[in-house]
Homo-oligomer: A and B are copies of this chain.
Amino acid sequence: MGNIDWIAADWGTSNLRIWAMSGDAVIEARGSDRGMSAMSGPDDFAAELERLTEGWPAVPVVACGMVGARQGWTEVPYSAVPCTATPALTPVAGDPGGRPVLIAAGVMQADPPDVMRGEETQIAGILAAKPDFDGVICLPGTHTKWARISAGEICHFQTVMTGEIFSLLSRQSVLRHSLNGAAGQAGSAAFADAVSTALSQPHQAWARLFRLRAAGLIGPGDPAEVHARLSGTLIGLDLGAARPYWLGEQVLIIGAPYLAELYSTALQQQGAAPVVGDADTTTRAGLLAAWRQYQDPS
């Protein structure tokens, strides 16, 4: 193992994950739940980074995600599509902790209005490994992103609030009583049926949400089925909204394994043949590409 020569950081709304890196090799990984939403000002970001990197050398930190948002550490302006995915880096003023802290630019689209912060770095990680990739990258999550990639650039993209709406409905709506913390299965017939209904009859899918609760009030109820149907309905609506992105296209899914499998199953059901990649590996590769470009912009 080499010496730690930089630190990769994925600093989102809810979490911070950092990796002590030697080139492209991970020396050590750490994380905390001190995401952007837990911070009340720039000093909080500096203190949390100090705390979490304790014992590591004062090497440069390269970070992506909501850390660069208006409510983040330092607001970094968006790049506008079409643009190369490898994000420009902006240093936090004053080299906090005695080392450069570099934050990746997000990407915006003027029409229709859309934004991303963090996913551009994952896309850059894909393109670092496959510079000729031509197709669509799906990044499922709180806000699922669908991005059209061609000639090494992000051409256009679309965000669907699937993960956030799933979380609100499953934890805070009346449906929570019918879920009981159950997990659905991507391969279940209920999931497949819900995806299919949401794609072909979206209004029907909408009407069926309350049935998930009612069925458990007048009958025995099946929390795993409710979970699968809710998840299938929301992913089906997402696929319906993003149809021009995946229909007849080469699709690469980059996300948490469970979520990536759900999207992959749903897309396969529609005749697509998506490939699934690992989110963390991709993020680190994108941060490394961004850091190398920053050091040698030629």
Q: Which residues from chain A sit less than 8 Å from chain B, CB to CB?
A: 70, 78, 108-110, 112-115, 143, 158-161, 164-165, 168-169, 172-174, 202-204, 206-211, 214-215, 217-219, 237-238, 240-243
Contacts and interface: CB of A to CB of B under 8 A. Distances in A.
> What is the total number of copies of this protein in its complex?
2
Contact of A173 (B159, B160, B164, B206): B164
17 contacts: A70-B217, A78-B218, A112-B208, A113-B217, A114-B211, A115-B214, A115-B217, A115-B218, A143-B210, A159-B210, A160-B209, A161-B173, A168-B172, A202-B202, A202-B240, A203-B241, A206-B241
Contact of A164 (B115, B174, B207): B174
Contacts of A169: 165, 168
A209 B114 CA distance: 10
Contacts of A211: 112-114
Contacts of A159: 210, 214
A207 B113 contact: no
Contacts of A208: 112
A71 to B, nearest CB: 9
A256 B236 CA distance: 33
A235 to B, nearest CB: 12
Given A115-B217, A204-B241, A206-B240, 20 more contacts: A108-B217, A108-B218, A112-B211, A113-B214, A113-B218, A114-B210, A160-B206, A160-B207, A161-B173, A168-B168, A168-B173, A172-B172, A202-B202, A203-B237, A203-B240, A203-B241, A203-B243, A206-B238, A207-B241, A207-B242
B161 A209 contact: yes
Contact of A206 (B113, B168, B202): B202
Contacts of A110: 218
A165 B242 CA distance: 22
A113 B211 CA distance: 5
A242 B208 CA distance: 11
Task: Indicate the member of A70, A207, A209, A218 with the most B CB atoms within 10 Å.
Answer: A207
Nearest to A116: B214
